[in-house]
Structure 1
Amino acid sequence: MDTSAIPLVSADAHVNEPRRLWWDALPASMRDRAPARIRPSEEGAWELRRHEQTTLTQRQADAAEEAARNEQNDLAHRLAVMREDGINAECVFPTIGLYVWEMDDAALGEACCQIYNDWIFDTLESKSPRHRCAGMIPTWDMAMALRELRRIADLGLGSAMLPLRGVPEEYNSPHWEPFWEAVEECGLPVVLHQGSGHDMLFYRGPGAAVANLLATQSMAPRSAALLTTSGALERHPGLHVVFVETNAAWLSWAMDTLDSYYDAFLANPGWVRPELAEKPSHYLRRQVHGTFQWDPTGIHNIDRTGTGPLLWGSDYPHSEGTYPHSRAVVQEQFGHLAEADAAAILGGNATRLFGFDPAVVGTPVPDPDPTTRRTA
């Protein structure tokens, strides 16, 4: 099957936030703690770095790098890249902002989330119906989280972003119940991106860099299991949770494993609390989703999972992404599928979950693009 005519909606794309974004917008009392960059370690983890004093040579090198980073955030540039890569629309997430949940100061964390949310709305969301951007939720306090959730919903952002691991409490805690109620009412999907909300450095030593990435992605089934077995998904059938850049093959494994233990533990009074109306796999299949660039095992398992939980994404502009070969990557992975199944994973599911206009994302980005205003 030729996939070239299927509209592609990347369910995983990023911006590179300006390094001075938070420095320029934070109150003077907080600027010395403003996030500015992330740095990789040899073990495959990333750490958040604040503004630092640098030499003139370093500042000149940073200025050249910053110009390239800022170009990737420019709408006209992004549309040109999408046109080149055959992408019709994008779900957009932060890069530096993924690590804001590491902060201990609640007021600083809330301010950083608000600054990013305003910036991404002004930069992409308000200008382009081809972009649905995540709003970062400050989770240090529930009142704070609910306040920002309602603000980003009123603003018009496309999803509510939480850390992959629950902060300050795990996602089976009653602490989260007001948030699940509110986000279901708002109609926004919840997105959780790999690497956020926890230390990515699980291991050190030989092989640690690769092993740490696998361990990081393993946080997705852990959080999905808590949402499922706690009854949160059953109580809130309109709540959809998208695990971003975690791949999707784990979904079939989680379905089988949770169903097996759920059935076995029902024979022991008190072991299963709460008892669910359906098996755990029912809620995973209905409300949990995973994005991937390359996941042939996840695609192979759609007989078990269905196509609804799977979303493809390019991860642009990150180095491990599929740009500028997305169409070739898609053809190689999806060419053997029925067209309806491929179309759902490659764009239909994201269009429905994130609220894109099907008439817009069903057409390629023209040159020049006449839809760079929502009023167009």
Structure 2
Amino acid sequence: MPEPDNSPYLIISSDCHAGLPTEEYRTYIESKYHPAFDDFLAEQAARVEAATKLGVRNPEFARHWFEEHEEGLRGGWDSAQRDKELDADGVTAEVIFPDADAVESTTAAPFGVGLTFSGGLDQELALVGARAHNRWLAELCAQSPERRRGVALVPITGDVDAAVAEIRRAKESGLGAVMIPAMWEDKAPYHDRRYDPVWAVCEELQMPVATHSGVAPRDEYGDHLGIYVSEVTWWPARPIWFLIWSGVFERFPGLKFGVTEAGCWWVPNLLWFMDRLFLGAHAAAKLTPFEEVKRPPSEYFDRNCFIGASNTKRRELAHRYEIGVDNMLWGNDFPHPEGTWPNTRKWLRTTFHDMPVDETRRMIGLAAAEVYGFDVAALQPVAERINLRPGDLGQTGDEAAGWAAAREVGRHWLTGHDFPVIGHGAALGGYRTEGVGSEVS
């Protein structure tokens, strides 16, 4: 029997954040827009006050967070400190989204194009702010290029030709992906053919497209924070069914689209529901055939989509054979407090201790390397130096047997197995089956 593979893990965080202290973006903004930038800065304090009132910002938590992590938080914009924090956290490489400070928004990208990016912004200023952030981010990534993939901000809901030009410029500058608004608001939805030049250039340049959680119609929620947090992960996921059902992935088979920091607990039910419709479940019999799609939606999902699920939960990992192991990209969310930094090593052991080693390698690194185009060979010396191995996670190499039943069931509506119900086996994957009928269940 071969010895279990205990070589170091190559760990890639598919969800990290970086951004300058907002005022320092001024040198990246054309001078004619400086008056508008001054207005944006003046409004920043009011936004923090509004967030405190809504309950999004806890002042006491903020004080402790900044006092305890003052040095590490400088990694939000300081390259050397950033590499130091990644090493200590066990992370080999990272995908970088905007807004390093998720507590007081002191590193917000200009003109609202950070994590609250939406089609409701002033489209001219949005492009100015996006270009400023993208220019700076390219400089940050150039300081450790093998470890970083910067995500360019691109307001595609405005001038499409300008968006395409910015995508090309971002690629030439060294950035590796594109973040688009999660909400288009009063602009054209993403099924509109006006966006085809965007999808085409991203396919051509092999630039994955991603949304990120953060934006939601907060003006509808009043003071009820629970409504916001219940919906904020839905908005970045919504484009998936717009792109699948409108045939975008049929027209652009090489396009990659991902949803970041919105969890992945919702994926099994979404795929089950969409596949049933396409495959002719009883409830869909009265519908006209879906002419824009040629295959079950789950096939497009596997080929074209990925989920930057961030600090993946045990409940989500239990359903990875329905979600797709290669579709689940882990992230530590550095330097946000809701992530696993600076305790990622402990978190990985707690979460992955009974996961098969080969599947763990995919979910915490290799799948992200393929999506975002990291050079695995170039990263290997970094992984060796960081030296986080399966044994450090408590893995012995014998974990696969405990998940055999779940792996066999897979997507039960396609494999013909009964619906899997999580049992109480020693390894969270002890499944039992219960009949639920035979109608495209």
TM-score by shorter chain over 0.5 = yes
Answer yes or no: is the 8 Å Cα contact 2:19–2:133 preserved in 1. Answer: no
Distance 1:244 1:125, change over 3 A: farther
1:12 equivalenced with 2:15 (yes/no): yes
**Counterparts of 1:202 and 1:284 in 2: how far apart (Å)?**
31
Distance 1:183 1:66, change over 3 A: same
1:114 equivalenced with 2:125 (yes/no): no
SS class of match (2:382): coil
**Counterparts of 1:257 and 1:278 in 2: how far apart (Å)?**
14
Distance 1:340 1:367, change over 3 A: closer
Distance 1:341 1:66, change over 3 A: closer
Q: Residue 24 of structure 2 corresponds to which residue in structure 1? A: 21
Deviation, structure 1 residue 303: 1.6
Computed over aligned residues only, the root mean square deviation of the Cα atoms, in angstroms, reads 2.8
1:124 equivalenced with 2:128 (yes/no): no
SS class of match (2:81): helix
- 1:31 corresponds to which letter in structure 2? H
Cα deviation digits, residues 56-102 of structure 1 (max 9, x gap): xxxxxx9xx99985553111111111111111111111012323546
Higher mean C-alpha deviation, range 28-37 or range 354-363: 28-37
1:295-334 matches, within 5 Å, as 295-334=313-352
Deviation, structure 1 residue 280: 1.0
**Counterparts of 1:155 and 1:317 in 2: how far apart (Å)?**
24
SS class of match (1:11): strand
Cα deviation digits, residues 175-224 of structure 1 (max 9, x gap): 2111111110111111111124x43455234xx32331220101233211
Distance 1:258 1:330, change over 3 A: same
1:72 equivalenced with 2:90 (yes/no): no
- 1:186 corresponds to which letter in structure 2? L
Instruction: State the TM-score, normalized to the length of structure 2.
Output: 0.72
1:190-205 matches, within 5 Å, as 190-196=209-215, 198-205=216-223
Distance 1:67 1:149, change over 3 A: same
Instruction: State the TM-score, normalized to the length of structure 1.
Output: 0.83
Answer yes or no: is the 8 Å Cα contact 1:125–1:132 preserved in 2. Answer: no
**Counterparts of 2:336 and 2:21 in 1: how far apart (Å)?**
15
Distance 1:350 1:202, change over 3 A: farther
SS class of match (1:331): helix
Distance 1:3 1:347, change over 3 A: farther
Q: Residue 146 of structure 1 corresponds to which residue in structure 2? A: 164
Deviation, structure 1 residue 240: 0.9
Answer yes or no: is the 8 Å Cα contact 2:15–2:333 preserved in 1. Answer: yes
Deviation, structure 1 residue 278: 0.9
- 1:110 corresponds to which letter in structure 2? L
Q: Residue 232 of structure 1 corresponds to which residue in structure 2? A: 248
- 2:200 corresponds to which letter in structure 1? E
Answer yes or no: is the 8 Å Cα contact 1:91–1:132 preserved in 2. Answer: yes
Answer yes or no: is the 8 Å Cα contact 2:18–2:98 preserved in 1. Answer: yes
**Counterparts of 1:193 and 1:288 in 2: how far apart (Å)?**
14
Answer yes or no: is the 8 Å Cα contact 2:237–2:259 preserved in 1. Answer: no
SS class of match (2:326): coil
1:247-326 matches, within 5 Å, as 247-262=263-278, 263-264=280-281, 267-268=285-286, 270=288, 272-291=289-308, 292-326=310-344
Deviation, structure 1 residue 341: 0.8
SS class of match (2:180): strand
Runs of 5+ consecutive residues of structure 2 not aligned to the other structure: 58-65, 100-107, 387-441
Answer yes or no: is the 8 Å Cα contact 1:17–1:94 preserved in 2. Answer: no
Distance 1:69 1:28, change over 3 A: farther
Runs of 5+ consecutive residues of structure 1 not aligned to the other structure: 47-61, 369-376
Q: Residue 49 of structure 1 corresponds to which residue in structure 2? A: none
**Counterparts of 2:82 and 2:271 in 1: how far apart (Å)?**
37
Distance 1:66 1:337, change over 3 A: closer
SS class of match (2:54): coil
Deviation, structure 1 residue 286: 2.1
SS class of match (1:20): helix
**The one of 82, 86, 90 aligned to 2:94:** 90
Higher mean C-alpha deviation, range 100-109 or range 321-330: 100-109
SS class of match (1:177): helix
1:219 equivalenced with 2:222 (yes/no): no
**Counterparts of 1:297 and 1:3 in 2: how far apart (Å)?**
26
**Counterparts of 1:229 and 1:235 in 2: how far apart (Å)?**
12
Cα deviation digits, residues 318-348 of structure 1 (max 9, x gap): 1111111111211222222211111101000
Distance 1:84 1:127, change over 3 A: closer
Q: Residue 181 of structure 1 corresponds to which residue in structure 2? A: 200
**Counterparts of 1:213 and 1:111 in 2: how far apart (Å)?**
30
Distance 1:172 1:349, change over 3 A: same
Higher mean C-alpha deviation, range 279-288 or range 183-192: 279-288
The structure whose Rg is larger is 2
**Counterparts of 1:103 and 1:305 in 2: how far apart (Å)?**
32
SS class of match (2:194): helix
**Counterparts of 1:268 and 1:275 in 2: how far apart (Å)?**
17
Deviation, structure 1 residue 3: 8.4
- 1:327 corresponds to which letter in structure 2? R
Answer yes or no: is the 8 Å Cα contact 1:311–1:350 preserved in 2. Answer: yes
Q: Residue 43 of structure 1 corresponds to which residue in structure 2? A: 54
Distance 1:333 1:366, change over 3 A: closer
Q: Residue 52 of structure 1 corresponds to which residue in structure 2? A: none
- 1:136 corresponds to which letter in structure 2? L
